[in-house]
Amino acid sequence: MEEAIYKKFPEEKVEEIESLFTEIGKEFKGKAEELIPMLQRVQKRLGYLPEQALLAIARMTGLPAAKIYGTATFYAQFRFQPVGKYIIRVCRGTACHVKGSDRLLNTIEEYLQVSPGQMTSDGLFTIETVACFGSCALAPVLVINDSVYGSLNRSKALKLLDEIRERERSSSRHSTQGN
């Protein structure tokens, strides 16, 4: 058996789930038909669906845990692993492919040392692939959170990542100094 695809929520932060479910308990009645809004609510807050949250939903709704998991895995919108602050979506559509998006993806994977669906150890980046953004004129395309970056090549892409890293580093330095 392969390992379960989801991650547990870190034990030391379990109170966060507890407080989230106190809120959810007020917002929802715990009916089966509220399952998807509840899953969305959890993901919005925690960034993904950790094991403890899925089990908590099972207890609240009275549905079998296997059914909650089955439903959640059916939808592409739900994640089972934590995501970075920046989600890099690499377009793997036809036009981008012709323009070398496979090499672009490989380069980013190597540079960040993670595969699609995974998060970098510093919690900054998650790579994902997307079938097509419909921005074929700008191929090859990357979307980082809500910003689109077109006509990229490998060095431009890496530069982009470095810029984000630098920005994050200075802002965190700034905030520590501020303290």
Query: Using CB under 8 A as the criterion, which residues of the chain lie in contact with other proteins when the complex forms?
Result: 1-2, 4-6, 51, 54, 62-70, 73-74
Place of tokens 């919005």: 44
Bin 134: left if φ > 0, else alpha if -120 < ψ < 50, else beta: left
Query: What angle do helix axes 51-61 and 14-27 make, rounded to 10 degrees?
Result: 30
- Measured from the CB of residue 30, what is the shortest distance to other proteins in angstroms? 12
- Measured from the CB of residue 105, what is the shortest distance to other proteins in angstroms? 21
Closest CA to 157 of 120, 118, 125: 125
- Measured from the CB of residue 71, what is the shortest distance to other proteins in angstroms? 8
Nearer to other proteins, 67 or 174 (CB): 67
Query: What stretch of H or E contains 78?
Result: none
Nearer to other proteins, 7 or 97 (CB): 7
Nearer to other proteins, 19 or 73 (CB): 73
